[in-house]
Amino acid sequence: MINSLQFAILAFGLVCISVSLSGVWAVRHAQHLRFKPLWYLASLFGFIGIGLNWTQPEDLVLLFGINGPVVNVYSPNGSGVWLVKVLFPVGAAFALWRARQPLSPPDP
């Protein structure tokens, strides 16, 4: 049975994946963005998020750092413990905001 912490990390993971993919799509279709490869890269990495021991979901852990892709599931050393890390793609959110800005008019 899934508990509330596992549900929270699943929901946050879906939000992070959708923001990351939307950021990549926005960078792809924005004509006015400079340095597009850097925007793509920033959209695929997470920076702030949460972590959870999936096998014993008792505590959420606040994470700061750089992680790519935005959702990671792994078992350290094959111990049978599954860890889930979800980090929010701040670069993708900023890319979405920046891609929506209209082109500035040229200086007279």
Residue 106 lies in a domain: no
Predicted pLDDT of residue 105: 63
Lowest mean pLDDT among 6-10, 15-19, 73-77: 73-77
Q: How many domains does the chain have?
A: 1
pLDDT tens figures, 67-99: 878 888 888 887 788 888 999 998 888 888 888
What average pLDDT does the structure give for the chain?
84
Q: Please say whether the beta carbons of 96 and 23 come within 8 A.
A: yes
Domain limits at 12? 4-100
Q: Tokens for 95?
A: 């890319």
Predicted pLDDT of residue 18: 93
Confidence of residue 20 (pLDDT cuts 50, 70, 90): very high
Predicted pLDDT of residue 15: 93
Residue 105 lies in a domain: no
